[in-house]
Amino acid sequence: MARYQGRLIEWHDEQGYGFIQGITDPRHNRLFLHIKSFSQHGPRPIQGCVIEYDLGLDQKSRPQAINVRYVKAKQVQKTQSSTSNQMKKSTSFHPIFIVMAIYWVGLLVMSAFGQLIPLSLLMIMLINAYTYWIYYQDKQAAIQNQARVAEQHLLLMSALGGWTAAWFAAQHFRHKTQKQPFKTYFALSIVINFVLIAFSVWVQRLYF
C-alpha cells in the first residue's frame, strides 16, 4: 500500500478530527482524518503539520487517512512547496475585499445621511451574523451526515445582505467554495443585494 504525505489544513481538536490536503498526491483534497487513525501516541495534531498516511475507507466506503504518523521537517517531500504556495495564494488579498469595503462604507454613509430606510443597517448586520452561523451549522451537518441547511436559504440570506459574512464563512470553513452552480448563484445573490439597496434608497427618497 502506497504511503502519502499531506498537510493538515483543518483540525477540530475537541471532536478529534480534521482534513488533509495531499502533498504527494494533490488529488487528496480535504481527506478525512480521525485522531484514532494515528499509529502511535504523540502530541495532539495542530493545523499546518505534515503527516504521512495510508489511504483507507471508513464504514461507509468513504476515503480517509489511516496508519497516520507525523513527518519530521527534513523528511517532507519537495512537492510541499507548491502546496504551501497554493495555500498562501488562497488566503492572500482578494479583489472582493475592495467590493466589501465600498459596500460597507456606502451603507454607513447612506445611513448617516438618512438615505436608507430606518434600521436597514442594523438589519443587515444581524443578517450577516446569522448567515455566518448557518454556514457553520451546514458545515458541521455535512461532516456528521445530518440534515443540511437548504442552499436556497443560504442564498436568500446572501441576497438580503449577508453575502459578506457568507464569503468569509465559506473561506474559513472551507465550505461551498468550489461547488457549482452554487458559486454562480452566490455571485447573483450579491447583484440582487445591490439592487435591493438601490431600491431601498429610491423608496426612501420618494416617500420620506
- Each residue's pLDDT tens digit in the chain (208 positions)? 568 999 999 888 888 899 999 888 888 888 999 999 998 877 788 888 899 999 888 888 888 999 999 887 655 555 444 444 554 554 467 889 999 999 999 999 999 998 988 899 999 999 999 999 999 998 888 767 688 899 999 999 999 999 999 999 998 887 777 677 898 999 999 999 999 999 999 988 887 7
**Alpha carbon distance 35, 86 (integer Å):** 26
Residue 87: the pLDDT is 47
Residue 189: the pLDDT is 97
C-alpha cell at 70: 507525523
The crossing angle, in degrees rounded to 10, of helices 120-143 and 163-173 is: 30
With CA atoms as reference, report the closest residue to 27 among 58, 2, 59. Answer: 2
Residue 83: the pLDDT is 45
Domain boundaries, the chain: 3-89, 93-207
Q: Letter for the amino acid at 106?
A: G
Residue 128: the pLDDT is 98
DSSP 66-86: EEEEE--GGGS-TTHHHHHHH
Residue 57: the pLDDT is 85
Residue 203: the pLDDT is 87
Residue 39: the pLDDT is 85
CB distance 136 to 154 below 8 Å: no
**Alpha carbon distance 69, 205 (integer Å):** 64
The crossing angle, in degrees rounded to 10, of helices 163-173 and 182-207 is: 160
Q: Letter for the amino acid at 109?
A: V
Fold of the domain built from segment(s) 3-89: OB fold (Dihydrolipoamide Acetyltransferase, E2P) (2.40.50)
With CA atoms as reference, report the closest residue to 10 among 28, 32, 25. Answer: 32
Residue 127: the pLDDT is 97
**Alpha carbon distance 173, 135 (integer Å):** 8
CB distance 205 to 115 below 8 Å: yes
Residue 145: the pLDDT is 66
CB distance 53 to 65 below 8 Å: yes
Residue 79: the pLDDT is 45
